[in-house]
Amino acid sequence: MTKLEALAKRCRQFKADFKNFDVRGRFALYAEVREFLRERITVQQAKDEFRISLDQRAERFLTLARTRIYERPGSPYLKLLEFAGCELSDLEALVRRHGIEPALMRLATEGVYLTSDEFKGKKEIVRGARSFRVTPEDFERRYAPGGFAIESSGTRNRPLRSVIYLDWLRFRTFATGVFFAAHDLFSYSHAIYDAILPGGAVNHLLVNAKLGKATDRWFARRVPEMTPLHALAHHLTTYLIVLAGKRHGPGFPTPRFIEVEEMERIVRWIEQEKRKKKACYITTIASSAARIARAAWEMGVALDGTKFNVAGEPFTEAKEEAIRKVGASVTSRYSYGGGTSAGLGCANPRYRDEVHVNQNTLALIRHPAALDVNGTAIHPLLCTTLYAEAPRMLLNVANGDYGTLEERNCGCELERAGLALHLHHIRSFEKLTSEGMNYFYGELFELLEKLFPAEFGGGPGDYQLVEEEDGNGQTRLTLVVHPEVGPIREDALLARLREGLAEGPWGNKFTSEIWRDAGTVRVQRQVPYTSPRGKILPLHFSR
């Protein structure tokens, strides 16, 4: 890009930011947050509302289908339903006879679904002789008061901007109330370690406040800034929400910015609470929880009684071990993306990342037709939203993840509240396929988070494969090793890498094609790359 092009791009960005910088709307948000917090929801109310929302889900879905799809001639979903020959009366009969999920499975079989690439507008939707394109904006809720924008991390794609409305957070509060009761979380001191807007931490803070639960600390990870105006807008919105939360909520923290190297500040806070006989509950993402646990280990501080709630990336065995080693426990949550909370950690989990699907606000199915990802049959998850207040209307939309869905009796309070469907072993296949290299992330995690630390020292997050293209379009691979790991015999490490990769299901392909294309793999001692949301992935694409 020439300097002139770069300047023109900045100007366009500035103009777009300025258009989004709605000063009046931002100040109105203060009053809307105040109103939101005026009504508190007790646990009993949350449980009652939760039950009602489950009882009414089929009828709510049909109303939504009628008003937002069948009565809107421009709806992309209508095109898919027409292609499938499914009229409203057919859909009603299907749902009333078999239930939502079986009806959605049937629709998916007949072409009524969107792949992640189709939904994002990266690929044309082709069903039979018809073809068309959509963008994520086509599914957005129409403007309503009381909204603020969040953005996905954009690790692999352009960040997805979603507007979260306060009335939508109110619905999320019901499930959170039941979840807090299931894990006894009302008795804990709560903290969040996550970024300010456009990150999603504000959602948790507002939901806690609506439940009357104070959040004691907000440790805010720094996000690489965008344009100054963009950053200013997000800071202003964050602080307006914080101000309203402080004045009208039960206890709302100011963000305290901390660097990745300062995890001991979080550990010190946990110690301080322990002295007051309070257990701590920290909402963050998996690699951050592992990093906090590791800091505690190095400081010689036990975190017994502390509970982490993690999401955002594969929650691997090595990360769990790092957390358990210091005596802390962990539960997980699953977000479908775009402000759609899709799962809350089971209180009697059989699997590490096991969640109850939030069936009160959405329906989740596995696509009946499998994709062949490097010889493995993968059924993408498809999500359908059941509330008009959701940031986007989804009807069998894939997000690039797959996982195991099953009904089982776990005996926890979420099950008693009516959430029978469990989801676990959640992975992204999009990350595997989008680069055309078909890496199996799970295998890479095993190698980089467990085998290497066991043999060469360090822990999860210390090793990372970085793929970049040189000026000639050649792929180059670098094995990044955190400087804190200490001296390493590089030839032994590289030999282990080659051996480890050759053992994987994609081993032959990797060694024959990728390794050859990449030429020699180098080892570089530097801090591994972190995504804008703080994730450290085993494979980083630097291009």
Q: CB of residue 416 vs Zn ion: minimum separation in angstroms?
A: 9
Q: Which stretch binds Zn ion (CB under 5 A): 320-328, 415-423, 433-441, 493-501?
A: 415-423
Interacting positions 430-449 with Zn ion (CB under 5 A): none
Q: CB of residue 407 vs Zn ion: minimum separation in angstroms?
A: 11
Q: What is the DSSP string of 142-167?
A: PP-SSEEEEE---SSSSPPEEEEEHH
Per the document, the length of the chain is 543
Q: CB of residue 425 vs Zn ion: minimum separation in angstroms?
A: 16
DSSP run (H or E) holding 214: none
Q: CB of residue 131 vs Zn ion: minimum separation in angstroms?
A: 43
Interface with Zn ion, residue 410, by CB under 5 A? yes
Q: What is the DSSP string of 302-350?
A: --TT-EEEE-SS---HHHHHHHHHTT-EEEEEEEEETTEEEEEE-SS-S
Interface with Zn ion, residue 181, by CB under 5 A? no
Q: Which stretch binds Zn ion (CB under 5 A): 31-39, 66-74, 98-106, 345-353?
A: 345-353
In the complex with Zn ion, the residue whose CB is nearer, 162 or 360, is: 360
CB atoms within 10 A of CB 39: 10
In the complex with Zn ion, the residue whose CB is nearer, 169 or 412, is: 412
In the complex with Zn ion, the residue whose CB is nearer, 343 or 528, is: 343
Give strand pairing partners of 307.
281, 329
C-beta separation of 236 from 244 below 8 A: no
In the complex with Zn ion, the residue whose CB is nearer, 103 or 410, is: 410
Burial classification of residue 12, based on how many CB atoms lie within 10 Å of its CB (0-12 exposed, 13-18 middle, 19 or more buried): exposed
Contact residues for 106 (Cβ-Cβ < 8 A; gap 6+):
94, 98
Q: CB of residue 359 vs Zn ion: minimum separation in angstroms?
A: 13
Distance between CA 543 and CA 541 in Å, rounded? 6
Distance between CA 79 and CA 131 in Å, rounded? 10
In the complex with Zn ion, the residue whose CB is nearer, 344 or 395, is: 344
In the complex with Zn ion, the residue whose CB is nearer, 112 or 346, is: 346
In the complex with Zn ion, the residue whose CB is nearer, 272 or 348, is: 348
Q: What are phi and psi of 334, to 5 degrees?
A: -130, 125
Q: CA angle 533-537-538, nearest 5°?
A: 170
C-beta separation of 198 from 150 below 8 A: yes
Q: Which stretch binds Zn ion (CB under 5 A): 87-95, 102-110, 396-404, 405-413?
A: 405-413
Q: Which stretch binds Zn ion (CB under 5 A): 85-93, 198-206, 406-414, 525-533?
A: 406-414
SS3 assignment, position 531: coil
Interface with Zn ion, residue 205, by CB under 5 A? no
Q: CB of residue 296 vs Zn ion: minimum separation in angstroms?
A: 28
Q: CB of residue 25 vs Zn ion: minimum separation in angstroms?
A: 40
Q: CB of residue 348 vs Zn ion: minimum separation in angstroms?
A: 5
Q: What is the DSSP string of 451-507?
A: IHHHHHS--TTSEEEEEEE-TTS-EEEEEEE-GGG----HHHHHHHHHHHHHHSTTH
Tell me, residue by residue from 356 to 395, as one string, x for binding to Zn ion by CB under 5 A and - for no binding.
Answer: ----------------------------------------
Q: Figure out which of the listed residues 205, 267, 280, 412 binds Zn ion, where binding follows CB under 5 A.
A: 412
Q: What is the DSSP string of 380-432?
A: EEEEEE--TTSSB--SSEEEEEEEEEEE----SHHHHTT--EEEEEEEESHHH
- Residue listed under structure tokens 């696509």: 367
Q: CB of residue 287 vs Zn ion: minimum separation in angstroms?
A: 25
Interface with Zn ion, residue 346, by CB under 5 A? yes
Distance between CA 529 and CA 434 in Å, rounded? 19
Nearest to 198 by CA among 160, 255, 150, 155: 150
Size of the site for Zn ion (CB under 5 A): 5
Distance between CA 266 and CA 258 in Å, rounded? 9
In the complex with Zn ion, the residue whose CB is nearer, 26 or 425, is: 425
Q: CB of residue 101 vs Zn ion: minimum separation in angstroms?
A: 19
In the complex with Zn ion, the residue whose CB is nearer, 104 or 357, is: 357
In the complex with Zn ion, the residue whose CB is nearer, 267 or 417, is: 417
In the complex with Zn ion, the residue whose CB is nearer, 177 or 249, is: 177
Q: Which stretch binds Zn ion (CB under 5 A): 47-55, 118-126, 236-244, 342-350?
A: 342-350
Q: CB of residue 350 vs Zn ion: minimum separation in angstroms?
A: 9
CB atoms within 10 A of CB 11: 10
Q: CB of residue 410 vs Zn ion: minimum separation in angstroms?
A: 3
Interface with Zn ion, residue 421, by CB under 5 A? no
In the complex with Zn ion, the residue whose CB is nearer, 157 or 348, is: 348
Interacting residues toward Zn ion by CB under 5 A: 346, 410, 412, 414-415
